[in-house]
Amino acid sequence: MAHLKQFDLAVTTLREVNHYLHKQMVADGVQSVSILNPDGAHSLACGMNAPADIEIDGHVGYYVAGMNKYASVTVNGNAGPGAAENMMSGFVRVRGFASTSAAASARGGCMVIEGDASTRCGISLKGADIVVGGDVGSFSGFMAQAGRMVICGDAGDALGDSLYEAVIYVRGKVKSLGADAQYETMADADRASVAELLGVAGFKHDPAEFRRIASARKLYHWNADANQEY
Amino acid sequence: MCGIVGLLLKNPALRPRLGELMVPMLIGMTERGPDSAGLAVFTQPVAASLHKLSLYAGEHDIDWSTFLASLTAALPGQHELKRAGNHGVLTTSAAPDSVTAWIETHAAELTVLSVGRSIDLYKDIGAPADVAKRYNFANLHGTHLVGHTRMATESAVTPAHAHPFTAGRDFCLVHNGSLSNPNLVRRKLEPLGIEFETDNDTEAACRYFEWRLREGDDLQTAVRSGFEELDGFYTFLMGTDTELALVRDAFACKPAIVAETDDYVAVASEFRGLAHLPGVHGAKLFEPRPQEVYSWRI
Q: How far is the C-alpha of B188 from the C-alpha of B200, rounded, in Å?
A: 16
Q: Domain A38-220, what fold?
A: Pectate Lyase C-like (2.160.20)
Model confidence at A1, pLDDT cuts 50, 70, 90, reads very low
Mean pLDDT in consecutive groups of 10 residues from the start of chain B, 298 residues: 96 97 97 97 96 94 93 95 91 96 95 97 96 95 97 90 95 96 97 95 96 93 95 97 96 96 98 97 96 96
Of B2, B172, B206, B253, catalytic: B2
Q: pTM (2 decimals)?
A: 0.95
CA distance A96 to chain B (A): 10
**N- to C-terminal Cα separation, chain A:** 60
Pairing between β-strand A32-36 and β-strand A53-57 as defined by DSSP bridges: parallel
Q: How far is the C-alpha of B41 from the C-alpha of B7, rounded, in Å?
A: 10
Per-residue pLDDT tens over the stretch A71-120? 999 999 999 999 999 999 999 999 999 999 999 999 999 999 999 999 99
- Tell me which of 3.40.50.300, 3.10.330.10, 3.60.20.10, 1.20.210.10 is the CATH number of domain B2-45+124-297: 3.60.20.10
Give A42-82 as a DSSP string. SSTTTT-BS--EEEEES---TTTTTT-BS-EEEEES-B-TT
Q: Which chain A residue's Cα is nearest to B268?
A: A40
> Does the beta-carbon distance from B272 to A41 stay under 8 Å?
yes
For residue B289, what is the DSSP state? P
Q: Look at residue A224 and tell me whether its pLDDT is greater than 50.
A: yes
Q: Is B176 helix (H, G, I), strand (E, B) or coil?
A: strand
Q: In chain A, what are the domain boundaries?
A: 38-220
Q: In chain B, what are the domain boundaries?
A: 2-45+124-297, 47-117
Residue B69 neighbours by CB under 8 Å, 6+ apart: none
Q: Which chain A residue's Cα is nearest to B31?
A: A42
Q: What is the mean pLDDT of chain A?
A: 96
Q: Given 3-state DSSP classes, what are the helix, strand and coil percentages for chain A, each rounded to the nearest 5?
A: 15, 30, 60
Q: How far is the C-alpha of A64 from the C-alpha of A183, rounded, in Å?
A: 33
> Does the beta-carbon distance from B271 to A137 stay under 8 Å?
no
**Residues B175-207 as b or e (16 or more Cβ within 10 Å = b):** bbbebeebeebbeebeeeebebeeebbbbbbbb
Q: How many CB pairs under 8 A join A and B?
A: 48
Q: Is B132 helix (H, G, I), strand (E, B) or coil?
A: helix
How large is the ipTM? 0.93
Q: Is A137 on the interface with B (CB under 8 A)?
A: yes
Q: How far is the C-alpha of A173 from the C-alpha of B149, rounded, in Å?
A: 38
Q: Is A41 on the interface with B (CB under 8 A)?
A: yes
- Tell me which of 3.30.70.100, 3.30.1660.40, 3.30.390.10, 1.10.240.10 is the CATH number of domain B47-117: 3.30.70.100
**Confidence at residue B174, expressed as pLDDT on a 0 to 100 scale:** 97
To the nearest 10 degrees (0 to 180), the angle between helices B64-74 and B96-106 is 120
Q: How far is the C-alpha of A92 from the C-alpha of A128, rounded, in Å?
A: 11
